[in-house]
Amino acid sequence: MNEIMVGELREFKEGDYRVLKVEDFEFGIYRQGDRLFAYENQCPHDGGPVCQGKVIPRVEEVLGPDQKSRGLRFSERRNIVCPWHGWEFDLESGRHCGDPKYRLRPVNVRLEDNRVYVKLPA
């Protein structure tokens, strides 16, 4: 497959995503500000439709100077949650939040003249 145009930037709302299918290849495109991220819609855990899961703020534990927990907070970073088993992946890197050896398969995405292009695997 070659590079294809999948839409205008305005069609991808800030903080939202779209799952697209071209022939037999399914992928999700995410917009965070002016940045776009795209991943194959297949979870490395059990093959679930990861790109159809929710995008949520990452939860972080706050530690005090004594290294004791001061509670939890929501981070600026976002995670994609696989709807099958709840595995979470960092939206920007595609890496599993607990074990970075697991990663979503990235899809090349670029913006030119307010059009969104993806390069699909051969």
Report the C-alpha gap between 51 and 39 in whole angstroms: 7
Segments making up each domain of the chain, as ranges:
3-119
pLDDT digits (tens, 9 = 90+) for 87-105: 999 999 999 988 989 999 9
Give me the pLDDT at residue 45, please: 92
Residues of the chain short of pLDDT 50, as ranges, are none
Take residue 29 and report the two structure tokens written for it: 């495109």
Give me the pLDDT at residue 69, please: 95
**Residues listed for the chain:** 122
Give me the pLDDT at residue 53, please: 95
Which homologous superfamily is 3-119 in? Answer: Rieske [2Fe-2S] iron-sulphur domain (2.102.10.10)
Give me the pLDDT at residue 122, please: 75
Report the C-alpha gap between 49 and 52 in whole angstroms: 6
**Whole-prediction pTM value?**
0.89
**What φ, ψ does residue 65 adopt, rounded to 5°?**
-60, -25
Report the C-alpha gap between 45 and 34 in whole angstroms: 30
- Count Cα atoms within 13 angstroms, Cβ side, for 28: 25
